[in-house]
Amino acid sequence: MTVRPAVIVLDVNETLSDMSPMAARFAEVGVSGALARVWFATLLRDGFALTAAGDRGTFADMAAEVLRGLLDGEDLNRPLGHAVEHVMAGMAALGLHEDVADGVRELHQAGRRLITLTNGSSMVAKKIFGAAGILDVFEALLSVDDAPAWKPAPDSYLYAARVTGVDPSEMMMVAVHPWDIHGAAAAGLRTAWINRSGARYPAYFTPPEHNVTALTDLPDVLAHSA
C-alpha cells in the first residue's frame, strides 16, 4: 500500500512542545509574563534577519542573548545572569501539548514516516520526546544546524528531503507557525497548519493545504485526502 504523503515533517517549538509555561518563568524573575511573547517574536525576527542576510545564528545562543537584552534594565529579583539562566532552563523543561503523544502514535500506526525539523537543537527535541515516551515513533530528529539555512529558507526543507530520500512533494510539513507553512510550500512540500487557538491565518503567507485544531485530527484528514 502506498500512503501519501510518505513523510510527515513536524516542527518542534510550539508545534509539539507547549511553550505556555515560559510566561511563568518570566514572572518568577520579577517581570511581566507577557514578555515571553515579545522574547520569542524577537528571537525569530532576528534569526530570520540573519537568514535573509545570508547568515545564521545558533538558536539557544540567540535565545539567551535576546533574553539578556530584554531583561537588562528591568526590575529583576535576581542578578541579570541568573535571571537569563532561570528562563532558559524553562526551555529544556517543556512538556508536549495534550494532543501530541496520541497524534504522533496514530500517524506512526497509519504507516507514515515521521521526522522533526527544528530551528532549535536536536538534543533539546530528543530530551523532550524522551521524557514524554514518544522518541520511538520518529525516524529522525533533524535540525537546521545541519542544513544550509534556517527555516523558512527553502534550503532547510530541501535538506530534510535529501536526508529522507523522498521528493519534497511526498513530504508534508506540519506546524503551528504560518511562516513555516509558507516556507515549506515554497520548497514544494505539502502542508498542514495546526491551529489550537482559533488564530487567523495571515493573508500574506501561502495558505495551508489542511487546517486542523489538533494533531489527533490529522490521521483522519490524511486518510481522506489524496
**Which residues of this chain interact with its own copies, rule CB under 8 A?**
32, 34, 37-38, 41-42, 44-46, 48-55, 57, 61-62, 65-66, 68-69, 72-73, 149-150, 152-154, 178-179, 182-183, 186, 198-200, 202-205
Shortest CB 36 distance to its own copies, Å: 10
Q: Of all residues in the chain, what percent are helix, strand and coil, respectively (each to 5)?
A: 50, 15, 40
Say how many residues make up the chain: 226
The residue among 63 and 104 lying less far from its own copies, judged by its C-beta, is 63
CA gap 180, 219 in Å, rounded: 20
The residue among 165 and 198 lying less far from its own copies, judged by its C-beta, is 198
Shortest CB 82 distance to its own copies, Å: 17
Shortest CB 181 distance to its own copies, Å: 10
Q: Which residue has the cell 507553512?
A: 181
Shortest CB 79 distance to its own copies, Å: 15
- Which triple of cell numbers denotes residue 86? 532561570
The residue among 30 and 202 lying less far from its own copies, judged by its C-beta, is 202
The residue among 69 and 130 lying less far from its own copies, judged by its C-beta, is 69
Shortest CB 99 distance to its own copies, Å: 21
Q: How many CA atoms lie within 13 A of 210 on its CB side?
A: 24
203-210: which pairs have CB atoms within 8 A and are 24 or more residues apart? 205/178, 205/179, 205/181, 206/181, 206/182, 207/181, 208/181, 209/172
Shortest CB 148 distance to its own copies, Å: 12
The residue among 47 and 103 lying less far from its own copies, judged by its C-beta, is 47
CA gap 102, 98 in Å, rounded: 8
CA gap 5, 223 in Å, rounded: 10
The residue among 49 and 93 lying less far from its own copies, judged by its C-beta, is 49
Q: What is the largest CA-CA distance in the chain?
A: 61
